[in-house]
Structure 1
């Protein structure tokens, strides 16, 4: 009988809990959307940083390559 009373009490609380918690669900979804947007912005900044680093390294490589080619060309002359 004690378990039955607990079960009935729990079932009786469901509409009350729904009324209390339901308004919070859109807020929780909005909050998770904001967190996803912040994560995307952070990832985008990291991607841009990596791209800029790659561009700088490529430029450095090409300058060194051109310098070596010029030195070989002047040695052959």
Structure 2
């Protein structure tokens, strides 16, 4: 085998190993990014659920206050009339 062919073979092997290594590294990064996206989605869903529960509790409290106020007004109008 001549020197030029050995250099060409070495360069081809080096390039192949480099490309394969890069592809595996890139796949690993992409997989990690996808996993992070799933974690962010779960956190966002939990945050929304917590916010919705808080808003529901506020609405329930406002409904109770409104009913209490309406009952008081009804009692006041019945006692006055």
TM-aligned CA deviation for residue 20 of structure 1: 2.4
Radius of gyration: which is bigger? 2
Match of 1:39 in 2: 40
Match of 1:29 in 2: 30
- TM-score, length of structure 2 as denominator length: 0.73
Comparing 18-27 with 28-37, greater Cα deviation is found at 18-27
- TM-score, length of structure 1 as denominator length: 0.76
Take 1:19 and 1:29, find their aligned partners in 2: how far apart are those partners?
15
> What does residue range 12-27 of structure 1 map to in structure 2 within 5 Å?
15=15, 16-27=17-28
5+ residue gaps in structure 2? 1-10
Please give the secondary structure, in 2, of the residue aligned with 1:23: helix
Take 1:65 and 1:45, find their aligned partners in 2: how far apart are those partners?
30
5+ residue gaps in structure 1? 1-11
Match of 1:52 in 2: 53
Take 1:52 and 1:36, find their aligned partners in 2: how far apart are those partners?
24
**Runs of 4+ with >4 A deviation:** none
Aligned length: 66
